[in-house]
Amino acid sequence: MYTLKDIKQGTIDFHQNNILGHGGFGVVYKGILHGGTIAAVKRLKDFASSGEVQFHTEVEVMSLVVHRNLINLIGFCSEDNERILVYPYMLNGTVASQLQAYVSGRPALDWPTRKKIALGTARGLAYLHERCVPKIIHRDIKASNILLDEHFQAIVSDFGLAKLLGEGQSHVFTAIRGTFGRIAPEYLMTGESSEKTDVFAYGLLLMELITGRNKLDVNPDEFENGGVVDWARELLEDGQLSSFVDTRLKSDYNEAEAEEMVQIALLCTMYRAAHRPRMSEVVRMLEGDGSVAGRWESLKNVQVPQDGTGTPNFVLSPAHYSEDECNSVELEAVELSGPR
């Protein structure tokens, strides 16, 4: 636990030159704390309302989890009217910042690194869902919430929206929070969230890693209805997956691995939660257990409920929303590492 004096000294009294970013819950500063520790210091605002809730949620969750693919809380400060969370400063930013279309002097993520990120994220989520007591649902998995350390190891962060499930509890009903376009259909329609809502969001993250398109901002001319999921399915069925893979990779990727990863992403974004794999199953598929093709073959023809116009009756495409239109209230993880 840090004192407010420690935090102020480390951030030079919250000097504006140390600001890494702003978000719905406050401001994140780069700080050098005692012992020379470089940290991301999240200073929450509105501590008496939403900020206080996030503060206690993150402290509680961080006290329960220890895993190489999950962010660790270095410390916190609860003093006077201040609520502050202290996290490691990540050298390589976030998946979102790494997938930006162009950053001078920085090459695109290579294929092995993308696979490594996908597997690391899956392992972190599998731990939350199946090894934590109580089980934890993250509820806002997206590229900007996956940090990357100096070795490009994926670190799942931002637990401000997380929910802890009691013994025997498989889901919770809450007000809809998260990021539009990444919300599983059952959660969007009923407010029911479970580990399978995280699986759905993970599937979309996989598609971002494959396409290299942050926020999945695909060209509307590239698909008819249903968004990026239908677009991926059509390209897979037509044998044209090369059109789905990040063009910056050129031909420097394994086509069989790319096909399997797309199949995994499609399985994760199945309409019915029961059809989606558990994250431990995703881990095994990514590790090469040989089950991907058979599982996809058995589920690929499952029909999605549609409205009267023939359009799926839930929102699937993040391309239809801007980041400003999201309903996410927590600070984006990109602000824990600074712009890249």
Task: Give the pLDDT band (50/70/90) at residue 285.
Answer: very high
The residues with which 192 forms a beta bridge, in sequence order, are 173
Query: Does the pLDDT of residue 50 top 70, yes or no?
Result: no
Query: Does the pLDDT of residue 334 top 70, yes or no?
Result: no
Query: Does the pLDDT of residue 170 top 60, yes or no?
Result: no
The residues with which 230 forms a beta bridge, in sequence order, are none
Task: Give the pLDDT band (50/70/90) at residue 324.
Answer: very low
- What's residue 287's pLDDT? 98
Q: Which residues are catalytic?
A: 140
Query: Does the pLDDT of residue 109 top 90, yes or no?
Result: yes
The answer to whether the Cα torsion of 266, 270, 273, 276 is positive or negative is negative
Task: Give the pLDDT band (50/70/90) at residue 136.
Answer: very high
- What's residue 223's pLDDT? 42
Query: Does the pLDDT of residue 293 top 90, yes or no?
Result: yes
- What's residue 47's pLDDT? 61
Query: Does the pLDDT of residue 338 top 60, yes or no?
Result: no
- What's residue 215's pLDDT? 62
Residue-wise DSSP of 202-228: HHHHHHHHHH--GGG---GGG-SSSTH
Shortest CA distance to 76 belongs to which of 155, 3, 161?
3
**CATH class name, domain 4-89:** alpha beta
Contacts of 160 (CB under 8 A, 6+ apart): 25, 53, 54, 57, 58, 140, 329, 330, 331
The one-letter amino acid code at 5 reads: K
Query: Does the pLDDT of residue 1 top 80, yes or no?
Result: yes
The residues with which 77 forms a beta bridge, in sequence order, are 84
Assess contact for 212 and 110: CB atoms under 8 A.
Answer: no
- Is 42 annotated in a binding site? The answer is yes
- What's residue 93's pLDDT? 85
Q: How far apart are CA 194 and CA 192, in angstroms?
A: 7
The fold for domain 95-325 equals Transferase(Phosphotransferase); domain 1 (1.10.510)
Q: Which helix (H) or strand (E) holds 42?
A: strand 38-44
Task: Give the pLDDT band (50/70/90) at residue 184.
Answer: confident
48-57, 59-68, 163-172, 295-304: segment of lowest average pLDDT: 163-172
**Which residue carries 């406050």 as its tokens?**
26
The residues with which 137 forms a beta bridge, in sequence order, are 163
Q: How far apart are CA 141 and CA 105, in angstroms?
A: 28
The answer to whether the Cα torsion of 152, 215, 233, 281 is positive or negative is positive
Assess contact for 264 and 286: CB atoms under 8 A.
Answer: yes
Residue ranges in the chain assigned as alpha helix (H):
4-10, 50-62, 95-98, 111-130, 185-190, 195-211, 228-237, 255-268, 279-286, 292-299
| Boundaries of every domain in the chain | 4-89, 95-325
Shortest CA distance to 330 belongs to which of 20, 8, 42?
42
Residue 286 tokens read as 């990514």
